[in-house]
Homo-oligomer: A and B are copies of this chain.
Amino acid sequence: MERNIKVSIIEDDDTIRNGYTFLIGNSEGYEVVSAYCSYDSAAHTIAADKPDVILLDIEMPGINGIDAIPRLKKLLPNAFILILTVYESEKLIFEALGNGASGYLTKNTPSAKIIESIKEVRDGGGPMSINIAKMVIKSFQKNQESPLSKRETQILEQISDGKSRSQIARELFIDLETVRSHIKNIYIKLDVNSRADAIKAARQNRFI
């Protein structure tokens, strides 16, 4: 038989923490090695617990969950972090994932899905609640109603890669003046007058 998946829980609400501990502890193949009410109280001992997966809340006294992620990663480079929170804000989700969280579940997630997700992160997967997946996918989707033409979009993308006019001209096999002309039109359409502003406007509206 395979060894149990070792889970640590960091969650400030006593009721919820105990609930998860009970739920996971009673699931076949799972084992709760520790449960803390904050990152601060976990910091000194969690490395010794050697969890495979850490269930992490975001709203917490002291160091919040988002900032705890990189610290936990440093203490336990091989542990996977699964965020379990009520927050569905885009900013928090992307910060959490950017900091190294491997999954993001909201607290209305059914017990069975939580148990399944713990296994999934341990196996290198990336479980997400439906709403989270939706936001994540949305973040990839370009705006279909861009005022920019294909060529303009392409050139603006190169500009956002830090390329100069002449570099772009060379790569697209067009004249430097043509690039200039396109950039002028991009600026007019986006109502800006600098690269930085064009990139900002285009990213905000997901034209690139």
Contact = CB atoms under 8 A, between A and B. Distances in A.
Contact of A133 (B128, B135, B142): B128
A17 interface: no
A65 interface: no
Q: Is the interface of A mostly helix, strand, loop or mixed?
A: helix
A50 interface: no
Given A127-B133, A162-B162, A140 B97 contact: yes
A198 B162 contact: yes
A196 interface: yes
Interface in A152-172: 159-164, 167
How many copies of the shown chain assemble into the complex? 2
Interface in A161-208: 161-164, 167, 194-196, 198-200
A25 interface: no
A16 interface: no
A101 to B, nearest CB: 8
A133 B125 contact: yes
7 contacts: A97-B140, A98-B140, A98-B142, A100-B144, A124-B134, A127-B130, A161-B196
